Structure 1
Amino acid sequence: MLEGSFSLTDHNGHAVTEASYRGSFMLVYFGFTHCRKVCPRSLACMTAALDTLGETRRMVVPLYITVDPERDTPERMKAVVEANFPRFTGLTGSREAIDSAKASFRVFSRKGLDLEDAEGYAMPHTAFAYLLGPDGKYLTHFMDTVDDLQMANRLRILLTETERVA
């Protein structure tokens, strides 16, 4: 079973865990700020899906967890999310903390050669968005091939059903 636990630092430098967001749905995405294609596309899709939800989007806290903590400092995460994806909270931490979060979500990533990157590497990774309920339990995930309207429709249904049961 997917645990969905983490102990990281947000882009404002505050220590946070999954418990910091209890009471809200969490839409969690793992990526890295130097990503040129998949991460920006996925984050834009999630942003558009949340926008489609209107006021219901306030029930969801979107989190962007780095898989590249060596480059993605809190300052770097803050600059990227505030400039491009302001609905998101960027999360980073030590390599050990990131590896623990990845294991909790069953996320794979590895450093790979990328000659187009100034530092010579990229971080291929699992490109799912995970939805956790207000109790922190896993509800579903979205593959990176889903479009914003499909995601918004599934989110609307899940948010409504989960709130009705609670």
Structure 2
Amino acid sequence: MKKLVSRMVGGFVIGVIIGQIVQIIISFNLGQGEYMPVVDHFRSFFVSETTAVIVQILLTGIIGVTFATSSLVFNIAKWNLLKQYSVHLCITALVWIPIVMLLWMPKTSINTLIFFLNFLGTYVITWVVQYMISKNDIKQINAAIKSKQLEGKGDK
């Protein structure tokens, strides 16, 4: 339980930090030399800019918590990698996509499609890299096991 809470708190903090970095990047692009604590579209939902900033911080923290806790599916040993990644993709997409679209994305059909394809493409690339790393790790573990078995036969 302590590990889970630690993971959640860490995920929240990392989510907020990444959210603020994104906001700084957006400010460079849209702010005309000024820092924009929130984009105008998101700001329009609230009575004050302060409330919008607080909600943005909470939402980016929720994204961080989601990624930090959903990665626990990779600890389910009885699931194969494809199932683990599929479940992880669904969980993260269900949280990340609507929040990011609410916070930062213009609401056009083409932008939504591009945004979703970018998310999916990034996820597939990450999956392929992780799959290759896991496959290499398995090969090394099998080689170590085989080496130990050969050493054991030599002693007899």
If each structure's helix is expressed as a fraction of its own residues, which one has the higher value?
2
Structure exhibiting the larger radius of gyration computed from Cα positions: 2
Higher strand share: 1
**TM-score bracket, shorter-length normalisation:** under 0.3
Length-normalised TM-score, structure 2: 0.23
TM-score normalized by the length of structure 1: 0.22
